[in-house]
Amino acid sequence: MEYLQNILFAIALVLGIAFFTRNVRRLARNIKLGKEVDLSDNASTRWRNMAMIALGQSKMVVRPVAGIMHVIVYLGFIIINIEVLEIIIDGLLGTHRVFAFMGGFYDFLIASFEVLALLVIVAVIVFWLRRNIIRLQRFIKPEMKGWPEKDGNLILYIELVLMILFLTMNASDLQLQQLGAPHYNEAGAFPVSQFIAPLFEGLSIGTLVLIERSAWWLHILGILFFLNYLYYSKHLHILLAFPNTYYGSLNPKGQFANLESVTREVRLMMDPSADPYAAPAEDAPPPEKFGASDVMDLKWIQLLNAYSCTECGRCTSECPANQTGKKLSPRKIMMDTRDRLEEVGRNITANKGNFVEDGKQLLDDYISREELWACTSCNACVEACPISIDPLSIIMDMRQYLVMEQSAAPSDLNSMMGNIENNGAPWPFNQMDRLNWASES
């Protein structure tokens, strides 16, 4: 019985890590369904972007209230969970506050953790009020109904409970230290939980140990649950923001890549010695599909973008099309891409590694043509995203499919492209007549 708690803790830890590893493998498999793209260039710039944007939160604080609150929660999540290392060692070895030998530095650490825990509680309450009482416009858009709304609140509740359990654990530990209970040597400084400790005055040592151990177990089990819940939540960005900002586009906004297949066609047209009617070589690759109609047609970085989306809505709130009542929401584009990718992933899992055609695709079944053509391609959504997500790239790839594969551009756009082809300009005037207006009196 002496080692029962250690064995139970080891089992819980192994199960938590095993489920997390399974989710990571599934996530990597789904992202790799996208087309290959080489993003190994400019490593120093990419590392700097990751440090500034993901670690330094530089784009979050553009909106000061939400930004500062998010920085507090972020720091709290990172720093407070340093204590998880101590909890894991204590759980496996049966020790208690194994790092207490660090003396004054340990006291400083615990005091810092407690202050941050309190600030996290305050920030979580503010976030909850903004979502549910103030009801900011970007949190009540149509795409946020149902699970996304529940997920946002559930994350806040989990963070609140974890911080309360942390402070409760410390408060009861402080009482046990003051009572001289065996195994609870004096260690740590408790600037916040010292105000909770009086609630436990008069309780027996046995009851206090029960409270402290219960809070300890619930805290670490809650962290393991949260770790595995990330895969199903918008908070997956906690992990993916780092690779997403590292692999973010370094090209000027608005610059589009040329299609290799189109480039080959143009070169063929401009080569006077080429035979345009020659049959393709036997070993020639099959014709490339223009644009994207489903998630497998997108690049892997675009699929990583979809999984990294925080659903914060900054992109949608900056979108001029959305502001004028159009159906387009850049956030919904990313959420729909992720939902379709998850559907494809479940299909592959159910069919033992093979995708079985399900009669669906990202275009029309998830993202409508009306949404795609409402985009002004202004890049406001890309600029606004705090972790370098690029909804516009998905929109443009799907537009490209509609135009080049289905000839399904809006009539006005077809007219413009016809005018460019025939007149060398978007207007329906012959080149010889273009300056007639200047001679009019």
Q: Is the dihedral of CA 266, 271, 275, 280 positive or negative?
A: negative
Domain count, the chain: 2
**So what's the pLDDT on residue 383?**
95
Inter-residue contact 334 to 398 (CB < 8 Å): no
> Domain for residue 175, yes or no?
yes
Residue-wise pLDDT for 376-403, tens only, equals: 999 999 999 999 999 999 999 999 999 9
Asked if 201 and 270 sit in the same domain, the reply is no
> Domain for residue 217, yes or no?
yes
Q: Is the dihedral of CA 381, 382, 387, 390 positive or negative?
A: positive
Model confidence at 65, in pLDDT bands (50, 70, 90)?
A: confident
Asked if 341 and 207 sit in the same domain, the reply is no
Measured distance CA(329)–CA(333) in Å, rounded: 7
DSSP assigned state of 299: B
Asked if 223 and 302 sit in the same domain, the reply is no
Asked if 241 and 365 sit in the same domain, the reply is no
Could you give the residue ranges of the DSSP H alpha helices within 288-329? 300-308, 314-318, 320-323
Strand pairing partners for 35? 299
Inter-residue contact 315 to 385 (CB < 8 Å): yes
Domain that holds residue 97: 4-31+63-246
Average pLDDT over residues 264-282: 76
Inter-residue contact 37 to 300 (CB < 8 Å): yes
Q: Burial of 433 by CB count in 10 Å (0-12 exposed, 13-18 middle, 19+ buried)?
A: exposed
Look-up of token digits 């206090």 = 208
Model confidence at 2, in pLDDT bands (50, 70, 90)?
A: low
> Domain for residue 440, yes or no?
no
Share of the chain above pLDDT 70, in %: 97
Look-up of token digits 């480039």 = 263
Asked if 179 and 72 sit in the same domain, the reply is yes
Compute the mean pLDDT over every residue in the chain, rounded to the nearest whole number: 90
Asked if 237 and 386 sit in the same domain, the reply is no
Asked if 242 and 294 sit in the same domain, the reply is no
Look-up of token digits 């973008």 = 305
Inter-residue contact 141 to 329 (CB < 8 Å): yes
Supply 390's token pair.
């690029």
Model confidence at 1, in pLDDT bands (50, 70, 90)?
A: low
Measured distance CA(318)–CA(328) in Å, rounded: 12
Average pLDDT over residues 333-344: 97
Asked if 357 and 411 sit in the same domain, the reply is yes
**So what's the pLDDT on residue 337?**
97
> Domain for residue 47, yes or no?
no
Nearest residue to 219 via CA among 121, 83, 118: 83
Asked if 270 and 241 sit in the same domain, the reply is no
Asked if 154 and 16 sit in the same domain, the reply is yes
Asked if 23 and 142 sit in the same domain, the reply is yes
**So what's the pLDDT on residue 288?**
77
Asked if 220 and 270 sit in the same domain, the reply is no
**So what's the pLDDT on residue 45?**
96
> Domain for residue 436, yes or no?
no
> Domain for residue 281, yes or no?
no
Measured distance CA(322)–CA(383) in Å, rounded: 16
Inter-residue contact 384 to 314 (CB < 8 Å): yes
> Domain for residue 52, yes or no?
no
> Domain for residue 53, yes or no?
no
CATH (domain of 332): 1.10.1060
Measured distance CA(387)–CA(414) in Å, rounded: 35
Q: How many residues does the chain have?
A: 441
Inter-residue contact 71 to 121 (CB < 8 Å): no
Measured distance CA(249)–CA(396) in Å, rounded: 15
Cα torsion 415, 417, 423, 424 to 10°: value is: 150
